[in-house]
Amino acid sequence: MNFEEYLSSLQNKTVAVIGIGVSNKPLVELLLSRGIAVTACDRKSREVLGSLADDLESQGARLRLGDGYLADLTEDLAAEQKARVTYDNILRLSDDPDVNDAIKFLREREIIHFQRFGEAADLLRRKLHQKNIYAVNPAIDL
């Protein structure tokens, strides 16, 4: 997959960019220029980011700033657990084998999502302590 194909694969998806300082601004702008929805996350407040935050927002980026900038990851984990509990409750009430098979499949999917979201959140938190995190290197496969 080359870079253009990768960008095309992001259409109709939301991309989160963690850290929106000087090094990630071009990445956010590139994604937005290709019509890709971007949620830009940073520990810094709007006041600290100043005109950079206003500029990215005016281009269409959704901003998650300040201490709770990673809250969505935790909310995604909670949503997967709530869905699993719902499926557990349906299985307790249902005696239809066909319905139960479908619900078991959906329940397993929620468990896998929970595990993968948790792994991603853990990896992200560890990587945030490293310097210069790049989600995409535009110099590759241009």
Domain containing 44 equals 3-69
34 and 88 part of one domain = no
Domain boundary among 50, 69, 88: 69
pLDDT score for 105: 93
Residue-level pLDDT at 118: 78
Of 69, 84, 110, the one marking the end of a domain is: 69
Which pLDDT does position 136 carry in this prediction? 58
If asked whether residues 14 and 64 sit together in one domain, one would say yes
Are residue 17 and residue 45 in the same domain, yes or no?
Answer: yes
Q: Are residues 9 and 65 in the same domain?
A: yes
> Per residue in 18-48, pLDDT tens?
888 777 889 899 999 999 989 888 889 999 9
Percent of the chain with pLDDT over 90: 33
pTM check: above 0.75? no
Residues whose CB falls within 8 Å of the CB of residue 17, separated by 6 or more in sequence, listed in order? 24, 27, 28, 31, 38, 39, 40, 41, 135
pLDDT of residue 129: 58
In a domain, 9, yes or no: yes
| 11 found inside a domain | yes
